[in-house]
Structures are given as structure tokens and as C-alpha cells.
A and B are shown apart, each in its own frame.
Chain A
């Protein structure tokens, strides 16, 4: 990656970010936000952080983009006016000052990391003990496993928060159907969704599996799975489950629960979230597969929104 390429990439990232912020039309802003996320993924790739690039493009650009587009159509269906009039000057100045201060703080933190930082050799030295080759997975699933455990519960909490927005009469109906209203469009989207869902399943399983040794992992695989679910739902190939369906509830909690159970089993034999010698890889891969499935279902339902009465919404 040459300096010219990186410079052009930086300019394009800043440019798309500015357009996404300043453009008046909400849909245009979303489009530029998605382009911004993809370019940011390219930047991570240029720095060799393939795991982060995958997560940024799948979650930051993909799922968040769909979430924003659906939010827009929900607001329009509710008759809300999506307009952003000129903000008050003091509000703009305040936001600019707060963002600048935060950016300066972040930049100072990043620059304070010495080039010969000692963490990488420490992690590399520990990797053989857990039998994985991808240091990012090692950090996420072994050395800082409690972070990932908490993250999986945060995701579950987010879905609970979205569900709590359901009107009392709608509980426990499924969310507003994502299937397209126009029959011909449904036909096109249906073939696409039916074709892509099995591919997404294979792709997600592959991403989790290679995550042990190469870039990939539970969050990336789970997001691909969520994308497959959403496309299939938009094409009418699958329906959305009722919110009190026990199978759905188990699918949602399986990942965090298995993770917690293995962590507690570690506590019984030594330390919380410590894997016994020789079993680390098998346990980590088990956790990652169940976690990826739960993340996929949770993300798809987060995008689908709260339970709604049949026949309402977009």
C-alpha cells in the first residue's frame, strides 16, 4: 500500500464523512454513511487489521446501514417529518468543541503508544498455550474473555431495550414484516434471499472456523448470518418469529449462556473464564459457534424492531 493510495483514501473518508454530516436529505446521508464505513474498512485493511476491517464493513456499514434505512421508513410511516433545520450557533459550536476535544484525546492516546510496545510479544508468547494462531481471537476469547462475555450480554440487553418499546397491545406479536409489499419486487428479492441464506450459513460457519487461525470470528460470522436472515425475510422466504417463542428465546440466550457456563466451569476448576490446559481451543470454538448463532439472530431482530400489531408499519 503506497503513500499515495493512503492519502487518497484519507481524503475520500473525510469527504464522505462530511457529505454524510452536512447533506440535508436523510437517505443521501445514509448512502454516504455506508460508503464511509466501507472506505473505513479499506483503511483498516491497509493497516493490516483485517479483523477490524471485517467487523467495520459487516456491522458498521452493512447492518447499521440497513438499520438506518428501516428507521427512516418507519418514521415516514408514522407520519414524522424528517427534517434537520439549521441548529442554533451555540449548539454547533458546543458540538464542534466537544468533538474536537474528544478527537484530540483519542489522538493523544493513540500517539502515546510507543512503537516498540511490549504487548504483541507477550500475546505471541501465550498463544501456543491456547492452541490458536489468530492473536485477535486469542485476546477476545481467552486473555480478555470477560470483555467479550459482557459484550454478548450488552447485545442481548439492546434487544430487550428495543422490545420494551413495543406497544402493550402488540406484545408478543412478531415485529413488522420485512417482506416487500410489491409482488414483483417480492419475487426478485425472494429469489435472492432464498439463494443467499444457505450461502450466508456456510459463509458464517467458515468465518467462525477460520477465526481460530486467520481473520474471522463470532461477531463477523454472526453478522453475515444476520444479513442472510434479513435478506431472506425481505424476500418473504422466512417469517419473523413471535417474541415469546421459546425456541427464539433459547436461540437468543444460547451464546451468552454457553459462554457463561464454560466460564463458571473454569471457576470451579481454577479461575473464572480460564480454560483447562489442552481444552482451550475446543472450548473456544464451541463458544464461538454458539455465540455466532445468537449474535446473528439478535442482530437480525434488532434491525427488525419491536413487536408490532399485524397490519401496521411500512
Chain B
């Protein structure tokens, strides 16, 4: 096992941990806002770790840049949809916007 393999394994484990934490949060948190918080924040960190692991595994700067772009767009999409969903959820609760 080389140092790269070790780093990839560690990064993947860290990613899995954050994904698991996000999923537990989605299932256990009481209301929509905290569930969205768990989903978007923890999952984006998890995705970041998995993306780092994939980039390291490939060992190419071009591929790493593409993976970084994927991660950025995933964050952007998650943030936007979380904002929109939180708004709908608040309206459904009757709090008003």
C-alpha cells in the first residue's frame, strides 16, 4: 500500500463519515430547516472529501480541475435548492416568508 493509497482511503473514509452524518441528520432532525442544514452542509463536505480522493487517485491536474468544477457546481446547486426548499417549507408551516 503506497502513501497515495493510504491518503485516498483516509479521504474516502472521511467523506463516508460526513455522508453518514448528513443522512442521520436528515432522518433524525425534527424540522425541515435543520434537515436541509444536515443535507447540504454535511453532504457537501463529504462530497469534497470524495472528490479529493478521486482527484488524488487519478493523479492528473486536468482531471483534478474537472473534479473541482463538479464539486463547485454541486455546492452551488445544493445551496440554491436548499434555499428554495426552505422557503416552501416555511410557507407550508404557516410562518410566512
Which residues of A are at the interface with B, using a C-beta cutoff of 8 A? 180, 182, 184-185, 188-189, 191-192, 195-196, 199
Contact = CB atoms under 8 A, between A and B. Distances in A.
The 8 A-B residue pairs with the shortest CB-CB distance in the complex, in nearest-first order: A192-B80, A188-B83, A185-B87, A185-B84, A188-B84, A188-B80, A184-B97, A184-B87
B71 to A, nearest CB: 14
B97 A182 contact: yes
Contacts of B97: 182, 184
Interface in B44-97: 73, 76-77, 80, 83-84, 87-88, 91, 97
23 contacts: A180-B84, A182-B87, A182-B91, A182-B97, A184-B87, A184-B97, A185-B83, A185-B84, A185-B87, A185-B88, A188-B80, A188-B83, A188-B84, A188-B87, A189-B80, A189-B84, A191-B80, A192-B76, A192-B77, A192-B80, A195-B76, A196-B76, A199-B73
B81 to A, nearest CB: 9
Contacts of B91: 182
Contacts of A192: 76-77, 80
A192 B87 CA distance: 16
A185 B84 CA distance: 6
A66 to B, nearest CB: 13
Contacts of A180: 84
Interface residues of B, number: 10
Interface of B: 73, 76-77, 80, 83-84, 87-88, 91, 97
Contacts of A185: 83-84, 87-88
Given A180-B84, A182-B87, A191-B80, 10 more contacts: A182-B91, A184-B87, A185-B88, A188-B80, A188-B84, A189-B80, A192-B76, A192-B77, A192-B80, A199-B73
A271 to B, nearest CB: 40
A195 B73 CA distance: 11
A196 B77 CA distance: 10
B47 to A, nearest CB: 15
A191 B84 CA distance: 12
A213 to B, nearest CB: 15
Contacts of A188: 80, 83-84, 87
A203 to B, nearest CB: 10
A180 B87 CA distance: 12
B23 to A, nearest CB: 14
A182 B73 CA distance: 24
Nearest to B88: A185
A287 to B, nearest CB: 27
A289 to B, nearest CB: 22
A76 to B, nearest CB: 14
Nearest to B83: A188
A199 B73 CA distance: 10
Contacts of B83: 185, 188
A282 B65 CA distance: 29
A189 B87 CA distance: 12
Central interface residue in B73, B76, B84, B88, by most chain A CB within 10 Å: B84
Residue of B77, B83, B97 with most chain A CB atoms under a 10 A cut-off:
B83
B97 to A, nearest CB: 6
Contacts of B80: 188-189, 191-192
